[in-house]
Every structure is written in C-alpha cells, then in structure tokens.
Amino acid sequence: MSNVAFRERTPVSNIEMFGFTKDENVKTIPLNNLAKTVRVEGKSGRTLQTRPVQSWSLIASIIAMLSEHGINYKENSIYISKKNSFPRINDEDKSLGYNREVCPINKWEFDKVIGSITLPNLGDDLVSSKIAFSFYDKGISVAFGTNVHVCSNFSILGNENIIRTFTQNGVPGHSWESIESILDKWLRNIDQKMNIEMTIMQRMIDRQISDESVIDHVIGDLYKKAIKQAYFKGNDAPFDTHGMSYFVQEVIKQNKEKETPGNVWDLYNWGTAIMKPGIIDLASITESSKMFADYLCLEFGIEREDLFTEAEIVE
C-alpha cells in the first residue's frame, strides 16, 4: 500500500492532535486529553514502583476524595514539559507528517506532569487552600499548602505537607495506598491544617526585616547551597543555580518598589514568585516552595513546632 493511499484512508483532520511549537517548553493540557495518552510503564508493561498509578488516575483520585468529603474545589491548569514528552510513532505515522509539533493525542507519552486544585472556601482575603500534585521520573508527590490570591504563588509552610512515593532527603516514600490514606486524613482535618498554614504565615508577616544586609546574607547562603547541590553532591537546595538568578532579579525588582525590606512573608513570596512553570523545572516547584519556607523559618527563628505538637488529629 502506498503512503498516498494510507493518507486517504486516515484523514488527519479526523484525529485530535497535540504538539509543541518551537518556542514552547511547557504546555497545558485538559484532563480528558491527558487520559487519552500513552501509559508510563516499565519494561514489558510492568507497573513502576514509584508510579503505581498514571497521572490522570492520580488527579481523578484526588478529585474523587474531595467530592467524597464535600469539599468545594476548582481544577487549575495541568502542565507538561516538552523535554519530557515523547510522540510514540512508527514509520507509517511519520509518513503522515506526525512529529513533536503535530501528533495524535493518543500517541503522546508525558513523563512529567504537574498541576493543582484550589479549595476556594478555605482561607481568607489573602490566601486560599491548594493541593498540588507531581508525576515525574522520581515518582508521585502530593502537597498541601496555600494559594496567594494576588500573585497565585504556592506556599507550603506546615510540617509533613508533602507525601511522596519516593525517598527525598532521607525521608522514605509511601505506597500509593498509604498516600491515599494520608490524603484522606488531611481532608478530614482540612480546617486545622489550613489554620496551621495561616498561623505560620502570620508569624512570617510579623517578623520584620529592618536591614537589606539580612537579605544579602540570605541570598549568599542560598547561592552557596545551590553550588553545593550542583557541583559537590550537596543536599537539595530551595533553588538551583538557574533559579537563584531569577530569585535575585526578583529581589532587586521588589527592592526598587519598596521603601523598606519588608518582612519574612514578603521575602518568601519573592522566592515563590519564580517557582512557576516555564521558569524553573516543573517537578521542583512544590519541593522548592517547602524547602524555602523551612529555610526561612529556621533562619529567622519562626516557631512552628508548637503548632504541630498541639494539633488534634481526627483519625
């Protein structure tokens, strides 16, 4: 059969297409399209230990649990990375002109997917609650935090607010069943978790930064951590060297607009402002947000342990 005959029998116009343009490094995708894509699996179709469910099943499970608990939610954009997206095509597909710029959606494999779900009824005029999820080569992670209304920055301030299927900085991963159980516990204690986040946020707001040299010290310390991570096998840092460049630019811009350095919450938001798809690696966003909050609370002596120990958990 000739390629011409094959094209006539399979009209491209009847197939739902997807692709990346030359300048697109990150793209959004609807959940119903994501569910049509190629499964991410190991050899011989084996289930990956750290990714026992597919990205669309992960999202659907979170949504189902929110509905079960009667929690109002708003689905936000789902992001995929061009570098980690692959059209699984054969010679016949190539003869039709399919490639990374245009290819049927059901022939794509997306190896890095992140997104979030906002819980708009939990919070105040400044922030609302948010659940974020990541699906990438390390595995699956689910995080609870807050969404800052004015800038959509994602903040993770509390303790143990990220659960993963993989080990991170010495913290062991969980099975998928365990993640579902922990997420269920989060949702049963959602008001308390949100109160803890907002209390930490208020403590960060109350801690004023009176001298710009303090911010210079933070930048220098974070740069050192980024260099250790990049070149000396150091622990994961809040920012990599690429991210630090964007962070310093954000600090300089903010300092031009403010008469005083502000407070720790301001500084934290200058950092989370660059933790967005298209600026830093997709999979780093939730981890970086949490590590930066941990760093600032330790650096400025902002107490959190009292909130964690006093919390009454509904089992």
Interstrand relation of 108-110 and 74-81 (parallel, antiparallel or unpaired): unpaired
Q: Which of 198, 82, 221, 204 is nearest to 144 (CA)?
A: 198
Distance between CA 272 and CA 285 in Å, rounded? 8
Q: pLDDT for 227-271, tens place per residue?
A: 999 999 888 899 999 999 999 999 999 988 776 778 999 999 999
What residue segments make up the domains of the chain, in order of their start? 3-195, 205-310
DSSP assignment string, 211-238 = -HHHHHHHHHHHHHHHHHHHHS-----S
Distance between CA 161 and CA 113 in Å, rounded? 19
The two structure tokens encoding residue 116:
């979030």
Distance between CA 131 and CA 62 in Å, rounded? 9
pTM higher than the cut 0.85: yes
Return the pLDDT at 95: 94
User: Which residue matches tokens 């964007």?
Assistant: 246
Q: pLDDT for 144-158, tens place per residue?
A: 999 988 778 999 998
Q: Which of 18, 13, 48, 45 is nearest to 34 (CA)?
A: 18
Contact 175, 182 (CB under 8 A): no
| pLDDT mean by block of 10 residues, the chain; 315 residues | 41 76 94 97 94 98 97 96 96 94 96 96 88 97 91 88 92 96 96 94 95 94 96 92 95 82 92 92 92 96 86 57
Q: Which of 163, 164, 132 is nearest to 145 (CA)?
A: 132
Contact 158, 297 (CB under 8 A): no
Within its chain, how far is the Cα of 289 from the centroid? 9
Return the pLDDT at 72: 96
Return the pLDDT at 13: 53
End-to-end CA distance of the chain: 64
Neighbours of 62 (CB within 10 A): 22
Return the pLDDT at 315: 56
